[in-house]
Structure 1
Amino acid sequence: MGYAMVMGEALIDLLEAELDGELIYRQAIGGAPLNVAVGVARLGGEVQYAGALSDDVLGDRIAAFLRDTGVGRTGVKRVPVPTTLAVTTFEGAEPTFTFYGEPPSYALLGPDDLDLAAVGGAAVLYTGSICLLREPFRAAARAAWATAGPVRVFDPNVRPTLLPDAAATDALRDLVEEFFATADLVKLSAADAVLLYGEHDPAAAADRIRGLGAGAVVVTCGSKGAHVASADGAAMLPAPSVAAIDATGAGDSVMGALIRRLLDDGLPADLAGWQRHVRFALAVAGLVCERKGGATAMPTPAELTARWGALL
């Protein structure tokens, strides 16, 4: 089966909530790549996490959480800056993130901190998300991406609050397209497609990204499901009906589930294979949306079977 190497940010989410009529913030471990790594591990896959963690008490909690969830930590670098905080507010179940902490603790992994032999030995390599906006992490991600061997999967995970103007958006588009061009799989949200391309049609966004060189593209569309495009066609797959209370981490769970399937089966040979993977991923995301919070909401196979019955 092999292992996945997941590179990117880990941080602390402060999730808006109400208690006894007062607005409070509930602490949760998060960061899209960390969520992905935990999602893979909870589904039974072997995964190594590469990223920077603060040496403060919150960084200690993140490190302990990775250990307790079975995520390998050989690629972790501890850094002497405070852990980045993501204050998370909601409209319905959909979160909006505002980030605090300079320099960001999550972006301090550099190329010299990488074990490139471990990267090259992975069956799947994932990177993406907000850590790419900063050096030295961006250079580390490029170095890993250039290493031959793994299936390469990428998620831009755009956060509008980190893009102050049109020039920043243009720069991000150029950056993520550099990774799109050589990705075996790109996963992005419909909101990402609108921000990057002004494109409200997921099929058109997927075609554009495949035209840059990506092997397959999955565009998640919330409760509507996901659009998947590969070399031999495209399809829109419906999401299962759920009583969503918190969509934090849902997109990350889709990526975690897709990586888990790639570890088992390798790259699908055709659209039908990708559809099987995406149906499984949407079932995982549906269960995540019925729970509170990010990484702690990632399910196990037994929990999936209990909720949905036998899965494809």
Structure 2
Amino acid sequence: MGYAVVLGEALVDLIDSECYGERVYRQAIGGGPLNVAVGVARLGGAAQFVGSLGDDVLAGRIRAFLAAADVGLAGAVTAPASTSLAVVTLAGPEPDFRFYGEPPSYSLLGPDDLDLALMEGADVLYCGSVVLLRPSTLAAARRAWSLATGLRVFDPNVRPRLLDGPAALAGLREVVAEFAAGAHVVKLSGADAQLLYPGEPAEGVAAYLRELGAATVVVTLGATGAVLAAADADPVLVRAPKVDAIDATGAGDSVMAALIADLLVDGEPTDPQGWIARVAFALRVAGLVCESPGGATAMPTRADVDRRFGT
């Protein structure tokens, strides 16, 4: 089995919580791509994290966490910056993220910082999330995308708080189209789809991204499941399992991680039924993540998934 390169951000989440009746912020290592890398490793795949980390104590904790999770750090660079913080509140169905730290520690990876051999040797390359909004890291993602010789997977992972008005949203929409056109798999949430393509149903968004060139598109819809468009078949709804959800942080990232882990084992399915089985497994992984607090720390192993839902 080969390895996946996950290019994106790592930071520290401060999650709005309660302790003995007082409001507190629980510290957790996070960032959508970091969650993906950890999820891949927990599911038995080899993952390399590529991104910029700060030079403070929090960055040291991120490195130690990734190393303990068996995520490679050969492509991670250290930048002279304080680690970015994301304050997470859970007032609605989707977590609300507000970001602090300028310049963001995750935005200091440039195209010349890439380990070319690492990029070219990857069986799967993931790009996406908030690094798409910064010129330097966007340039790095574009270069990595052009160097990839394996499967390319993409997740816009939109954070509305980082979009400064309609022009920024329009720019992101163009970037999404650019990466989707060359992607083997695109995964996005229903909230991403609504922000990028207002009023368009998930099935329509999936079909549109396939028209742009994406081979397979998965639009996650929370407890409902996910819309899948693959192998020239009409979009279908894959149902999610019933779970006792307490925290949805990282659930979408775990879907991406499960898809990548299976791509590393067996490559792309050749028919729609194969993709349906892949997405159904990914939704079981996400359901289990939702039953535990935290994002990266909640990523399960395949044995955990089998124990919860059966083989």
Q: TM-score, normalised by structure 1?
A: 0.98
Which residue is 1:91 aligned to? Answer: 91
Read off the aligned partner of 1:166 and give its amino acid letter: P
CA distance in 1, matches of 2:207, 2:241: 25
Note the 1:224-303 alignment, pairs <5 A.
224-233=224-233, 234-303=235-304
Which residue is 2:103 aligned to? Answer: 103
Matched, 1:18 2:8: no
Note the 1:119-198 alignment, pairs <5 A.
119-198=119-198
**How many residues are treated as equivalent by the alignment?**
310
Please list the CA deviations of residues 204-249 of structure 1 after superposition, one character each: whole Å capped at 9, or x if unmatched: 0101111111101000000000010013212101100011111010
User: 1:119–1:150: 8 Å Cα contact kept in structure 2?
Assistant: no
CA distance in 2, matches of 1:94, 1:181: 27
1:91 partner SS: coil
Which residue is 1:79 aligned to? Answer: 79
CA distance in 2, matches of 1:24, 1:199: 37
Percent identity of equivalent pairs:
60
- 1:92 deviates by 5.1
User: 2:86–2:99: 8 Å Cα contact kept in structure 1?
Assistant: yes
- 1:107 deviates by 1.2
Read off the aligned partner of 1:187 and give its amino acid letter: K
- 1:199 deviates by 3.5
Question: Please, which moves more after superposition, 77-86 or 225-234?
Answer: 225-234
2:74 partner SS: strand
CA distance in 2, matches of 1:208, 1:244: 31
User: 1:249–1:294: 8 Å Cα contact kept in structure 2?
Assistant: yes
User: Taking structure 1 as reference, are residues 199 and 117 closer, same or farther at Cα in structure 2, changes over 3 Å only?
Assistant: farther
CA distance in 2, matches of 1:148, 1:164: 31
Which residue is 2:213 aligned to? Answer: 213
Please list the CA deviations of residues 75-94 of structure 1 after superposition, one character each: whole Å capped at 9, or x if unmatched: 01011100000000002563
1:303 partner SS: helix
CA distance in 1, matches of 2:72, 2:66: 7
- 1:273 deviates by 1.2
2:26 partner SS: strand
- 1:147 deviates by 1.1
Which residue is 2:63 aligned to? Answer: 63
Read off the aligned partner of 2:166 and give its amino acid letter: A
User: 2:189–2:252: 8 Å Cα contact kept in structure 1?
Assistant: yes
User: 2:122–2:148: 8 Å Cα contact kept in structure 1?
Assistant: no
1:4 partner SS: strand
Deviant stretches of 4+, over 4 Å = none
Read off the aligned partner of 1:278 and give its amino acid letter: V
Read off the aligned partner of 1:261 and give its amino acid letter: D
- 1:200 deviates by 4.4
User: 2:246–2:291: 8 Å Cα contact kept in structure 1?
Assistant: yes
CA distance in 1, matches of 2:159, 2:46: 28
User: 2:33–2:128: 8 Å Cα contact kept in structure 1?
Assistant: yes
CA distance in 1, matches of 2:299, 2:272: 26
User: 2:125–2:148: 8 Å Cα contact kept in structure 1?
Assistant: no
Question: Please, which moves more after superposition, 228-237 or 261-270?
Answer: 228-237
Q: TM-score, normalised by structure 2?
A: 0.98
CA distance in 1, matches of 2:203, 2:262: 23
